[in-house]
């Protein structure tokens, strides 16, 4: 696409004849040149572009929920589909150039390893045992689940109605940039329960 610029002088007396008409040439095609179009939320992606010509400023714009852009650094605050466009401003005899939009996909980050951290792994039938966990990331809700005959969890406390094994897992919910995390199963209560 060509651009025609017409310059004319004007004052309080009236408008003068056009002093200059210049045809701006189109720049060579401009395009996003990243080798990967995505990443992990919380980790910035540096945007790059190729094509265009002249000394016009190169800039980027983005649309999409959870997408942030600072200069050439694209990031996301959660799951995101970020649509990015590059623009190279007009300079010299060249008009502006705009790239085709490109979608960058951001996945949630992995939490730090989560584990059930009880130091006491034995208890008494009918007496609740408080459950604890360590690791994980973010502010997601921590919860526990259990398998085993006679085993139950109520408000992060493990109880058993009979002697036996209770296999417990901890789960930390997704929050912000982090995906859900689940710990390995841990047998907290072995067959040493007494009444």
pLDDT-based confidence at 101, cuts 50/70/90? Answer: very high
Domain ranges of the chain: 21-107, 114-189
Q: Residue 190: its pLDDT value, please?
A: 58
Q: Residue 21: its pLDDT value, please?
A: 66
Is the pLDDT at 1 greater than 70, yes or no?
no
Per CATH, the number for 21-107 is 2.60.40
Is the pLDDT at 30 greater than 70, yes or no?
yes
**Whether domain 114-189 has CATH 2.60.40:** yes
pLDDT tens digits, 150-192: 999 998 999 988 888 999 999 999 999 999 999 999 988 655 5
Asked if 21-107 and 114-189 have one fold, the answer is yes
Is the pLDDT at 194 greater than 50, yes or no?
no
> Are residues 71 and 86 in contact, defined by beta-carbon separation less than 8 angstroms?
no
Q: Residue 195: its pLDDT value, please?
A: 42
Q: Residue 19: its pLDDT value, please?
A: 58
Across the chain, mean pLDDT equals 90
């Amino acid at each position: 696409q060509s651009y025609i610029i017409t310059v004319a002088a004007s004052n309080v007396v009236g408008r003068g004849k056009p002093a200059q008409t210049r045809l701006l040439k189109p720049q060579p095609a401009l395009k996003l040149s990243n080798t990967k179009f995505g990443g992990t939320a919380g980790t910035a992606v540096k945007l790059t572009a190729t094509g265009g010509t002249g000394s016009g400023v190169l800039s980027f714009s983005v649309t999409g929920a959870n997408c942030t852009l600072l200069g050439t650094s694209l990031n996301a605050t959660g799951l995101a589909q970020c649509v990015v466009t590059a623009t190279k401003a007009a300079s010299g005899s060249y008009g502006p150039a705009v790239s085709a939009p490109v979608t960058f996909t951001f996945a949630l980050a992995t939490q730090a390893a989560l584990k059930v951290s009880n130091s006491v792994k034995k208890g008494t039938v009918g007496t609740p045992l408080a459950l604890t966990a360590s690791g994980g990331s973010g502010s997601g809700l921590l919860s526990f689940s259990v398998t085993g005959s006679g085993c139950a969890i109520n408000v992060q406390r493990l109880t058993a109605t009979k002697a036996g094994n209770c296999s417990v897992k901890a789960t930390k919910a997704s929050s912000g940039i982090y995906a859900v995390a689940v710990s390995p199963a841990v047998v907290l209560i072995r067959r040493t329960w007494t009444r």
